[in-house]
Chain A
């Protein structure tokens, strides 16, 4: 399955938006945290997990999804949230802890929830899997259209929740796609030091479902494999496991000194940055012109400026708002 020109352009534009967005967030995050890095300081306190380098996974899969399809994400959720169409202004306000944020500042960057586009995330490793399974189950029980996609890191494959979810999805033949973004690291622990098999897609065999491996962080190849899997799920033919080889260009979280990385690894990752690669391919194929590139750059910058300005200008919630919304009001 190959993307059409408009889809390819959307993929490029969305990857760029995600990247530039995170570059903006990275700068703002450091405000108030220099020279001494104090996680509680500045306009964006708390942990910050950037997804730069992993954008192909989000766009290659989510290009096939509608707003009514469910996505569950992790502690590293920006690229998927942006691709799924979570409102960028409200998401940014949430990351700043502002009243106009998705949850009024209750969740923050690891807890971006948006029912309008069926997007949910959790900071507990592998705990997006069960809820995605449940969304897939609910669709089949209600006869509603839609599939569920759970994005996880390769570290999450070693959690019980992964195996329990895969078995149930296969047993009940549910429209669930599990996407493993293999960036080779779980914080400081490399995949080879945590995982008994070289490639995680082979684990699909344990559940009698298809498992695919997409090498080289290539959004077009991801689009192809994900398209087949999602079409299959929509036809009622059950779950698929997709493993994607991707790169974490940043530290685990901001402030991570990354001393565990072998010498030279970071340079090699930047040399194969997927965004300029896709741009150059599209330019060479005549699918983008230099003017297109410039106008996409400008459009992306404008959206980010607007979102950041919105977040900065929004007021903080009233402190006592903390006590609201532990329960849904009785209706």
Chain B
């Protein structure tokens, strides 16, 4: 990534749109389809301005027919196009998952590597604004579990642009999961720390590389997307008590930067994993297993996880807030480690 010459700040929504536009200008094969992505510019703003610049042949609103257009993205990609396709909420994967995990994700393998499947599947995740159990899930683990898809999820606009560019240029399906609370759409609340300076020129952020976003020596907090911001806030709180926390932003789940996780825990000896996805059978377990399998002696105490409990996401504000990860829960997890 180039040095930050510019101080121009973007939201994740704008950074995504900019990356897509820049790739579309240089590569005729790139096109976008999905629901409400043309005139509306995406419910979450990530395709704003594209219709005006590229027209409705390359920026295509679809009917509510996810099975058809997810399958179409795969078929078009295998026929030489580079589609960027939007699943408005990740929760809607239920109506089209066969097209994704059995087809999009497997055709590279089934062809012995002779077909390319360069699809970017962008989809919104996350809750916190009382959208209830069919519009608030993260489902990171569900995608990451199934082989054949790269999975990325940025915590800030610079990474969003770099990861989107890398995703479009990748010859494999890349699932680009953007957290609604980080999009910079005021009506969804705004996380100011996600709005950062973004270089105007094209650049890529490598898929599969985590980033240390705060250095520390006493405990490692691993997260992605919104979890990174909870981790940074927890690190602030811990610092006031003289505890030095390192925060690792995974950025990619597939491939997972296992070396970065191990290196950080080797330094701190303690691990807390933060995830807004359901706790069991998911991201938190995978991160902990990564460390334990490598060398259990790296850990000075049992690792902790701060994840979404294994229940559907409730509508009522106090119920949902009770379930969501936050900085206080991370600090409590640190205290529960015994020192």
Binding site for B on A (CB under 8 A): 36-40, 45-47, 97-98, 101, 104-111, 122-127, 155-156, 158-161, 186-189, 193-195, 255, 259-260, 316-323, 326
Cβ of B260 to closest chain A Cβ, rounded Å: 33
Residues from chain B with Cβ under 8 Å of A123 in the complex:
132, 134-135
B228 to chain A, nearest CB (A): 20
Return the contact of B95 from the options A124, A189, A317 (Cβ within 8 A). A124
CB distance from A273 to the nearest CB of B (A): 26
> A111–B133 Cα gap in the complex (Å)?
9
Report yes or no: A105 in contact with B319, Cβ–Cβ below 8 A.
yes
Docked CA distance A111–B39 (Å): 29
A317-B36 Cα distance, complex, nearest whole Å: 36
Decide: A97 near B317, CB < 8 A? Known: A108-B132, A159-B95: yes
Nearest to A189 among chain B residues (CB) is: B61
Is B80 part of the binding interface, using a Cβ–Cβ cutoff of 8 Å?
Answer: no
Seed contacts A108-B130, A111-B132; 16 additional CB < 8 Å A-B pairs = A106-B133, A106-B312, A106-B315, A111-B134, A160-B65, A189-B35, A194-B64, A195-B63, A260-B39, A316-B317, A319-B319, A319-B321, A320-B322, A322-B309, A322-B311, A322-B314
With a cutoff of 8 Å between Cβ atoms, the chain A residues found around residue B321 in the complex are 319
A323 touches B132 (CB 8 A): no
A126 & B130 in contact (Cβ 8 Å cutoff): no
CB distance from B190 to the nearest CB of A (A): 9
In the complex, residue of chain B having the shortest beta-carbon distance to the beta carbon of A127: B95
Given contacts A159-B95, A189-B36, A194-B63, contact A317 B130 (CB under 8 A): no
- Pick the contact of A322: B65, B189, B320 (CB < 8 A): B320
Q: Check B263 for interface membership: any CB of A closer than 8 A.
A: no
B315 pairs with A193, CB closer than 8 A: no
A155 touches B316 (CB 8 A): no
Residues 54-87 of chain B: 1 if any A CB is under 8 Å from the residue's CB, otherwise 0?
A: 0000000111111110000000000000000000
A-B contact pairs, 15 of them (CB 8 A): A36-B186, A39-B188, A45-B130, A97-B318, A107-B132, A108-B315, A108-B316, A124-B94, A126-B95, A160-B95, A187-B35, A260-B39, A316-B316, A322-B309, A326-B312
* A79 CB to nearest chain B CB (Å): 19
Q: B193 interface residue, CB < 8 Å from A?
A: no
Q: Given the interface contacts A158-B64, A255-B187, does A110 sit within 8 Å of B134 by beta carbon?
A: yes
A8 to B226 alpha-carbon distance, docked (Å): 53
Say yes or no: A323 contacts B311, CB within 8 Å: yes
Q: Which residues of B (11-41) have their CB < 8 Å from a CB of A?
A: 35-36, 39-40
> Is B303 engaged at the interface, CB distance under 8 Å to the other chain?
no
**Which residue from A107, A122, A158 sits with its C-beta under 8 Å from B65?**
A158
| Chain A contacts for B139, CB-based, 8 A | none
Q: Which residues of A are found within 8 Å of B135, using beta-carbon distances? A: 47, 110, 123
Contact residues in B for A160 (Cβ distance below 8 Å): 65, 67-68, 95
Interface contact A110-B132, CB-CB below 8 Å = yes
Cβ contact within 8 Å between A188 and B319: no
Residue in B closest to A44 when the chains form the complex, CB atoms: B130
Rounded to whole Å, the gap between the CB of A82 and the closest CB of chain B is 19
The interface residues of chain A lying within 8 Å CB-to-CB of B63 are 155, 158, 186, 189, 194-195
B116 to nearest A CB, angstroms? 27
What's the dominant secondary structure at chain B's contact region? loop
CB <8 Å contact, B65 and A159: yes
B323 at the interface (CB under 8 A from A): yes
Closest chain-A Cβ to B34's Cβ sits at a distance in Å of 11
Q: Chain A contacts of B94 at CB under 8 A?
A: 124, 127
Least distance between B26 CB and chain A CB atoms (Å):
29
**Contact partners of B315 in chain A: CB under 8 A:** 46, 97, 105-109, 111
Cβ-based interface call for B211 (8 A): no
| A322–B320 CA distance with the chains assembled, in angstroms | 7
Tell me the minimal C-beta distance from A97 to chain B in angstroms.
Answer: 3
Q: Which of A46, A186, A188 contacts B39 (CB 8 A)?
A: A188
Partner of B129, one of A39, A155, A193, A322: A39
Assess A319 versus B322: contact at CB under 8 Å? Given A156-B64, A188-B36. Answer: yes
Complex-state Cα separation, A274 to B133, whole angstroms: 34
Give the residue of B43, B65, B128, B309 whose beta carbon is less than 8 angstroms from that of A323.
B309
- Point out the residues of chain B lying under 8 angstroms from A105, CB to CB: 314-316, 319
Interface residues in B283-318 (C-beta closer than 8 Å to A): 309-312, 314-318
- The contact string, 1 if C-beta is below 8 Å from chain A, for chain B 93-137, is 011000000000000000000000000000000001111111100
Contact: A40 with B64, CB < 8 Å? no
The docked-state distance in angstroms from the alpha carbon of A169 to that of B188 is: 41
- B92 contacts the other chain (Cβ, under 8 Å)? yes
Smallest distance from the beta carbon of B317 to chain A beta carbons, Å?
6
Those 9 A-B pairs whose CB atoms lie nearest each other, nearest first: A108-B315, A105-B316, A97-B316, A319-B322, A45-B130, A46-B130, A158-B63, A40-B129, A322-B319
With both chains docked as a complex, state the minimum distance between the C-beta of B321 and any C-beta of chain A, in angstroms.
7
Query: Cβ of A161 and Cβ of B95 under 8 Å apart?
Result: yes
Contacts of B39 in A (CB 8 A): 188, 259-260
**Cβ-based interface call for B170 (8 A):** no
Closest CB in chain B relative to A42 CB, distance in Å? 10
Cβ–Cβ < 8 Å partners of B65 in chain A? 158-160
Q: Is B91 on the interface with A (CB-CB < 8 A)?
A: yes
